Amino acid sequence: MEKMLGVMLDCSRNAVMKPDKVKEFAQIIKKMGLNTLMLYTEDTYEIESQPYFGHLRGRYSKQELKDIDSYCQSIGIELIPCIQTLAHLKQMFKWHKIYSDVNDCDDILLIGEEKTYLLIEDMLKTLSECFTSRKIHIGMDEAYRVGTGNYAIKNGMRDKFDIINEHLHKVCDIAGKYNFEPMIWSDMFCKLAADQDGYGDQYGEVDTAKVLERAALPENVSLVYWDYYHSEYDHYDKMIKRNKLFNRKVYFAGGAWTWGGFAPYNAMSIERTDAAISACNDNEIDGVFLTVWGDNGAECNPFTILPTLMFAAEKMRGNTDMDSIKKKFYEIVGTEFDSFVLLESFDSPGGMHKDNNSASKYLLYNDPFVGLNDCFCAESDNEFYANLAQKLSNVEKGNHSNIFESYENLAGVLSLKAALGVKTRKAYLANDKEALKEIIKEYDETILRLKAFHASFQSIWLEYNKPHGFDAQDLRLGGLIQRLLSCKDRLENFVSGQLPNIPELEEKVLENPSPYGWWNACVSVNIV
């Protein structure tokens, strides 16, 4: 039987890819040599008996899923549902009064509650009617506080591994009713079975006998070892062997990085995928897929990560010759491989940013008065992004010119916005009102460029995704425009003498020890 080689599309972090674009994506990866596509849907699929499940989120209807499944079957792609049956159900729990009875704490389902398993059966019954494949990914990852909320109130504190394993058995029994072969993310089980808190670098040596003693997992479950962070063969080799201690099928999930912000990380993903697939092949695991996550709003279009998927397909066949890979990529995709790789530059401006991910995102949203991330900024950042905008205007865009136009607009914004706060504070502290008058003009121009970027970004979103979810981008970019207008007004009042001072610009900004690319972390230190 052909080994699984596929990709997982995140359709839960606001961007629900349109069915026709899912088909287009499936067609491309089939030509590359992949054979599997997973749709990651936390609550973005229709359950007829659960009207609030995915309500207003652009969820897929049952008919849409059946249609996508039928198309994938016709071209030789296995379409697999990838859902959550333990944690990562934060959006569902926003309907608190509807789902409070099945909530342990945070985004975690209440284990042991009858209503929880009625909900899970609704999930699995629905998916069994929509997908031909009998494989299903049921999640089970990152439920760090499982058993500590309403579960503890009802049952007292219990061993977390025992709680989760009991839940897994119940869910796998339900899956068996519908002839599903469930797979799970293995992190919680690997950690808890070994009585360790870490996973990956923090995951120390294990007592094999202890793991085997506790590893009474359901017979029909497979483990998915996920790891997006390492470039060392030995690390992957070690972790695959530890997953195999459970004596179940083991799959590997690597990262095709689209979740740092607006830019894809093809070069980084390829480096890590190279090491991971070597270890997977040597350990003869049951399959490999790459995850295309959309954390914090899905700002990065999944089509921009296609070079990583092309490399993975060729690597699995033993080919790592980049010239031949790039040639084949162009024949399939119609855009140069290196054009997409160039987009990684958005988060590589150098200087103080070199050890930080998501530089373009925190530079975009960095408040020009508060200056949370000013410690990383320099006026040379503006020049970097101006040069990047010029490079993007000259690259071969092929079939994806609209995507590159949007990135060119973003680079144009950052060629002014990146160091706007640094320049503002410098001129203010020097009481250089003539310089501030010129900087005020830059605020006007930045706002104009932001509007152009918003328009192109919206156009791409509406072409590739359902419209639901773009409201978050309207709020973010619209809020940034309004904030720039507000700061500009106060600068004008200061320059004219109507305002005696600007307190935020007088406050010394301490170094931010942990810059983070999530919008709510980089936009403000206040409650948003």
HEC letters along 245-280: CCCCCEEEEEECCCCCCCCCCHHHHHHHHHHHHHHH
Mean pLDDT of 262-287: 97
State residue 467's pLDDT score. 98
Q: Is the pLDDT of residue 483 over 80?
A: yes
State residue 126's pLDDT score. 98
Q: Is the pLDDT of residue 413 over 60?
A: yes
- 329 and 356 in a common domain: no
The count of domains in the chain is 2
Confidence class of residue 194 from pLDDT cuts 50, 70 and 90? Answer: low
Confidence class of residue 198 from pLDDT cuts 50, 70 and 90? Answer: low
Report helix, strand or coil for 236.
helix
Q: How far apart are CA 10 and CA 298, in angstroms?
A: 8
The closest alpha carbon to 411, from 343, 325, 331, belongs to: 343
State residue 236's pLDDT score. 96
Q: Is the pLDDT of residue 1 over 80?
A: no
State residue 161's pLDDT score. 86
Q: How far apart are CA 371 and CA 350, in angstroms?
A: 19
Q: Which segment of 36-45, 274-283, 355-364, 400-409 scores lowest on mean pLDDT?
A: 355-364
- 354 and 315 in a common domain: no
Q: How far apart are CA 360 and CA 353, in angstroms?
A: 10
State residue 248's pLDDT score. 93
Q: How far apart are CA 94 and CA 43, in angstroms?
A: 11
- 328 and 470 in a common domain: no
Mean pLDDT of 27-43: 98
- The CATH number covering residue 245 comes to 3.20.20.80
Whether 343 maps to a domain, the answer reads: no
Structure-token pair, residue 372: 């949370």
Q: Which segment of 197-201, 358-362, 505-509 scores lowest on mean pLDDT?
A: 197-201
Mean pLDDT of 41-57: 98
Q: How far apart are CA 220 and CA 182, in angstroms?
A: 7
State residue 33's pLDDT score. 98
Query: Looking at residue 395, what DSSP letter applies?
Result: S
Q: Is the pLDDT of residue 191 over 90?
A: no
Q: How far apart are CA 343 and CA 463, in angstroms?
A: 20
Contact 420, 380 (CB under 8 A): no
Report helix, strand or coil for 223.
strand
Q: Is the pLDDT of residue 292 over 70?
A: yes
State residue 2's pLDDT score. 82
- 177 and 54 in a common domain: yes
Structure-token pair, residue 447: 């706002």
362: CB partners within 8 A, 6+ apart = 356, 373, 376, 515, 516, 517, 522
Q: Is the pTM of this model over 0.85?
A: yes
- 331 and 383 in a common domain: no
The most confident of the ranges 244-253, 267-276, 513-522 is 267-276
Average pLDDT, the chain: 94
Q: Is the pLDDT of residue 514 over 80?
A: no
State residue 412's pLDDT score. 98
Whether 528 maps to a domain, the answer reads: no
Mean pLDDT of 102-122: 98
State residue 189's pLDDT score. 80
Q: Is the pLDDT of residue 199 over 60?
A: no
Half-sphere exposure of 490 (CA within 13 A, CB side): 15
Confidence class of residue 25 from pLDDT cuts 50, 70 and 90? Answer: very high
- 164 and 141 in a common domain: yes
Q: Is the pLDDT of residue 200 over 90?
A: no
Q: Which residues span the domain enclosing 113?
A: 4-337
State residue 353's pLDDT score. 80
- Residue 148 CB burial class (10 angstroms; 0-12, 13-18, ≥19): middle
- 384 and 313 in a common domain: no
Whether 107 maps to a domain, the answer reads: yes
- 255 and 191 in a common domain: yes
Percent of the chain with pLDDT over 70: 95
State residue 197's pLDDT score. 56
- Residue 524 CB burial class (10 angstroms; 0-12, 13-18, ≥19): middle
- 300 and 363 in a common domain: no
Mean pLDDT of 379-405: 96
- 371 and 330 in a common domain: no
Q: How far apart are CA 366 and CA 377, in angstroms?
A: 10
| Residue owning tokens 């198309």 | 71
- 510 and 419 in a common domain: yes
Confidence class of residue 111 from pLDDT cuts 50, 70 and 90? Answer: very high
Q: HEC profile for 4-39? A: EEEEEEECCCCCCECHHHHHHHHHHHHHHCCCEEEE
DSSP for 96-133, please give it.
HHHHGGGEEETTEE-TT-HHHHHHHHHHHHHHHHH-S-
- 237 and 157 in a common domain: yes
Mean pLDDT of 61-76: 98
Biggest alpha carbon–alpha carbon distance for the chain: 77
Q: Which segment of 81-85, 262-266, 320-324, 374-378 scores lowest on mean pLDDT?
A: 374-378
Helix (H) or strand (E) holding 310: helix 306-316
Q: How far apart are CA 445 and CA 447, in angstroms?
A: 5
